[in-house]
A and B are shown apart, each in its own frame.
Chain A
Amino acid sequence: MRPAYPPIVFLTLQCAANGIRRKGNKVAIKDGLKRMATAFKDEQTSGHTPVHSEAVVVRFAGDSGDGMQLTGGQFTLSSALAGNDFATFPDFPAEIRAPIGTLFGVSAFQINFGSSAIDTAGDQPDVLIAMNPAALKTNVGSLREGGLIIADTGEFNQRNLDKAKYTTNPFEDGSLAKWQVLAFDISALTLEAVKPFGMGNKDALRCKNMWTLGLALWMFDRERQPIIDWLNAKFAKNQVLADANIAALNAGHAYGETAELAGPLKQYHVDAAPAPAGLYRTVTGAESISYGLVAGAQLAGLKMFFGGYPITPASAILHHLSRLKEYGITTFQAEDEIAAICSAIGASYAGQLGVTSSSGPGIALKGEAMGLAIMTELPLVIVNSQRGGPSTGLPTKTEQSDLYQAVYGRNGDAPMPVIAARSPVDCFDCAVEAVRIAVEYMTPVMLLTDGYIANAAEPWLVPDLEEYTPFPVEFLESVPEDGFKPYSRDHKLKRPWVKPGTPGLLHRIGGIEKEVDTGHINYAPANHQAMTDIRSAKVNGIADSIPDQIVEQGAAGAKLAVVGWGSTYGPIKQAVRRKRAEGVDVAHVHIRHIWPMPKNMAELLKSFDKIIVPEMNTGQLKTILRDQFLVDAQPVNKVSGQPFTIAEIEAAIGSAL
């Protein structure tokens, strides 16, 4: 799928990676090599140029103190600057500094980068960089057969082998036979490289990750300068640290260049991926959501109030917004999740856009207050970055198991719109959409993402804000001709939004059932029936304002539809693409508006012979589809804390037909 000619890429940094082939005197070693991996399938060039590959999956794994997330992040940046498309999967333990060398303390960062569209972080790594025995043990199983292991033998001492529960040294017992192994003493090489800086042993070894990154940059034909610039900026206050890390980076790079081992290590080049013209940057889901909320508030013409409470993996949104005060944003770290949402409701009542954010356990605590926002019909955006549950569950692992909670999880008949983002980039538009619905319908809205989307990064064609249609809020500021009624309705069943401080429109609201129109307390049977019906009709009416459900690939009437929501988008898209290329009549439907659903959904779903619903839960969307449309949706479930692989979805398509 590579383009006939490489796209032209200009970098805003002084780094023009694309198109510049390393002209050095490298010799690709052809013989003695097992074929690396199917992804490494392209031209095996001989002579002085790197091997070209369409896509490569690399996983960096080490102790949680080894700086693997940082290494992965910088390698991601380097992929972006090289014009590759990519997707990343940071996978780290819940413990901040788990005991060194333990299996549960392993932190990993996987990146899939390529010269054509990349939608997932890759099923199986082609290259595993393992900084210690525990990292090798926990990650080697997913490495593609024939893939390359790069390991630091300096860490493979008896103590660390014991901690990783290795009874024998894996480099000696033949257990790694199906992979290529490049094991050497990275620790010693790092110490050697940073020796001139006179650091203690412990600090010197901290530079190991940069040594490794240097080697990876060489392997994938990348420029070092952006990373050097970053290191200089990061350690601006400590030039010795900056210099030591740069020395380690350079040493790792030089190792690749000069060692040019008569072994499995060789250099690859992945061309830039074709992409629409424009300005790009990398973005994580948490960043994208934050910017989308800011954009939404601007389109609504409102100031934003964000009430949050620290929780993994949602805190990053609070962190991002806390730095954007000049955009009219007040952030409030509340005493608990309940106060976070209640303060946001208070702010909405006072005329700002109230926003709160959490993950599953915190969302559960906010449930009663969501009911208050539904009853008082105030706008509110609730972002749920889902994680594995129930209870504390898997704080740093991804799951989609809060869908029931989002759609059904409140006391009483408490309808609330729910939308779900499919990717880090998609978070931006979904956040704007959540704000639009909240203010246009005077309702709380739940926006679902997950731990995978929140942390993962992908390239982002920076949106042109001029292309977004504003939806300015109009507060009621004077008594209407027919008198003021706080619960009167417009054609969308929206009630007026009145800011306290407005003369002549004094009124009281609350969580007690209110009388139709007047909003006075009223428990009368007919009134409760009427108000319940109105609240439900209002939320159902949102369907009038959302686009029809599209079919991503394939068409209505296909033999099989794969229906997904949220972060399963990438693997479903690729699996359906592959199956369609094989001639299978399969379609992909991906739902953003989960409650209410697009108006054509019933007709669309009923057009397919069969429906499967891959979800990282035990079948929650499946249940909703069955409930809403009486269709025979079949579940495909995975709750391992890991995203679906493309192969798993392909297999599910295969067995469904």
Chain B
Amino acid sequence: MNDMTPVKATTPKDWETDQEVRWCPGCGDYAILKAVQRTMPEIGGTPENTVFISGIGCSSRFPYYMETYGFHTIHGRAPAVATGVKLANPDLDVWIITGDGDALSIGGNHTMHLLRRNLDCQIMLFNNEIYGLTKGQYSPTSRVGTNSPSTPYGSVDRPATPCAFALGSGARFVARGFDVSKNLPDVLKAAHAHRGAAFIEIFQNCIVYNKDVFEDFAAPKGADGHQLWLRNGEPMLFGSEKSGGTKGIALDNVGLTLKVVDVVDGDWQSAGVIVHDVTNRSLAHMLVEMPFGEFPMALGVLYDDPRPTFNDAVIAQNESASAGKAPDLGKLLAKGQTWTVAEGHPET
């Protein structure tokens, strides 16, 4: 941890455990696992200094398959456990694995406070819009009308938007990806490079209970017209001749909303296409709320503007409050208004 031995480069194989993976065949989790195992060597991670902490649900089995330290905790509480781990040993690289039910239903409170405090860690929220491990009930991200064992006539409540929740909670890094996307490792790398709480929503295909629910934008066919991959400093462009022309995202100055504009001959400037600025929080608010259908799905790093982390602040305060004080419990106990009973008088 603190020694100066040069770190031996790892390969994806080094991050695999000998445990039999127990997800359903075809589950999107496999692709995410591979993406993470590919990412770890590239970020120069060391298995012994890496901890994966999860809650409960299909996604939360993840730590068993990573050759690192791992803690499969209880439903919704991974952020709280992670907070203790990171404060006790800030040198550890902490990754939280959670799902839509785990992070936004039973654990919504902890997710909110972890983001608000800005604990230095990565939060990977696998969003499959369903409770898989309990056999298919609708989740807090399920769309209105979702038929499930607990909503046989369709769900009636409105879904939460994970990235909007994160941003509203004070997150300083918000990103999106999806399970089989080749760009997922890049998103993970950016999240890891961000010092502070990095929130990544990963759309994940539950092939048993909510199959292909993201197909509208995740399917390779027509992807370039449905996916807006955000890159800092680059114009927000998507689409091609094949998908009916290049388009861009511009600001509707009257309604103060985003709008889709046509880009002719590559002249995005005159079309008013916005150049992505990951530090622009107002823009981030609009991107996380941008409805798919009318707009493409915003993917990649939506927002990235670090500020001091909780763990750094706690440790700095521990140090400043301790500075110049010699801890002596004996003296502490004998402090204050005391009195002495001398030897040589009768005891009770």
Interface residues of A (CB under 8 A from B): 3-5, 7-13, 77, 80-81, 83, 116-117, 226, 273-282, 291, 294-295, 298, 303, 305, 307, 324-328, 330, 332, 334-336, 338-340, 342-352, 354, 368-369, 371-372, 376, 462-465, 499-512, 520-521
Contact = CB atoms under 8 A, between A and B. Distances in A.
Range of interface residues on B (Cβ < 8 Å): 35 or more
A279 B88 contact: no
List of 8 A-B pairs having minimum Cβ-Cβ separation, nearest first: A346-B84, A510-B72, A342-B80, A343-B84, A508-B70, A350-B88, A500-B69, A339-B80
Given A275-B347, A277-B343, A280-B341, A339 B325 contact: no
* Residue with the highest number of chain B CB atoms closer than 10 Å, among A81, A303, A347, A510: A510
B318 A325 contact: yes
B170 to A, nearest CB: 13
Contact of B87 (A275, A281, A347): A347
Contacts of B25: none
Interface string B86-117: 11110110000000000000000110110000
B338 interface: yes
A2 B47 CA distance: 70
B252 interface: no
A369 B340 contact: no
A12 B340 contact: yes
A280 B340 contact: yes
B270 interface: no
Interface string B318-348: 1001100111011011111111111111111
Given A349-B81, A510-B71, A8 B345 contact: yes
B51 interface: yes
A157 B82 CA distance: 59
A307 B85 CA distance: 12
B346 A7 contact: yes
Nearest to B116: A335
Given A343-B84, A350-B92, A506 B341 contact: no
Contacts of A275: 341, 347-348
Interface string B27-41: 000000000000000
Contacts of B282: none
A303 B69 contact: no
A55 B49 CA distance: 62
B88 A303 contact: yes
B234 interface: no
A125 to B, nearest CB: 24
Given A275-B348, A501-B48, A504-B48, A281 B337 contact: yes
Given A12-B340, A508-B64, 4 more contacts: A275-B341, A332-B83, A342-B73, A511-B74
Contacts of B253: none
Nearest to B109: A335
Given A506-B48, A521-B64, A343 B83 contact: yes
Nearest to B64: A508
Nearest to B319: A325
A134 B345 CA distance: 45
Contact of A13 (B321, B322, B337): B337
Given A291-B332, A343-B81, A12 B338 contact: yes
30 contacts: A3-B345, A7-B341, A278-B340, A281-B334, A281-B335, A298-B329, A325-B318, A325-B321, A332-B314, A336-B109, A339-B110, A342-B77, A343-B80, A343-B87, A344-B84, A346-B71, A346-B86, A347-B87, A347-B88, A350-B84, A350-B89, A350-B92, A465-B333, A499-B89, A500-B49, A501-B91, A505-B48, A506-B47, A511-B73, A521-B19
A50 B277 CA distance: 83
* Residue with the highest number of chain B CB atoms closer than 10 Å, among A7, A81, A342: A342
B1 A274 contact: no
Given A3-B346, A350-B92, A279 B84 contact: no
Contact of B81 (A7, A346, A462, A464): A346
B74 A280 contact: no
Interface string B1-42: 100000000000000010100000000000000000000000
A501 B3 CA distance: 11
Contacts of A276: 341, 347
Given A83-B339, A280-B339, A511-B74, A351 B89 contact: yes
Contacts of B1: 501
Nearest to A295: B329
B280 interface: no
A282 B81 contact: no
Contact of B341 (A278, A354, A503): A278
B250 to A, nearest CB: 40
B213 to A, nearest CB: 28
A294 B340 contact: no
B84 A332 contact: yes
B71 A279 contact: no
B88 A462 contact: no
A305 B322 CA distance: 15
B321 to A, nearest CB: 4
A349 B85 contact: yes
Contacts of B343: 277
Contacts of B64: 508, 510, 521
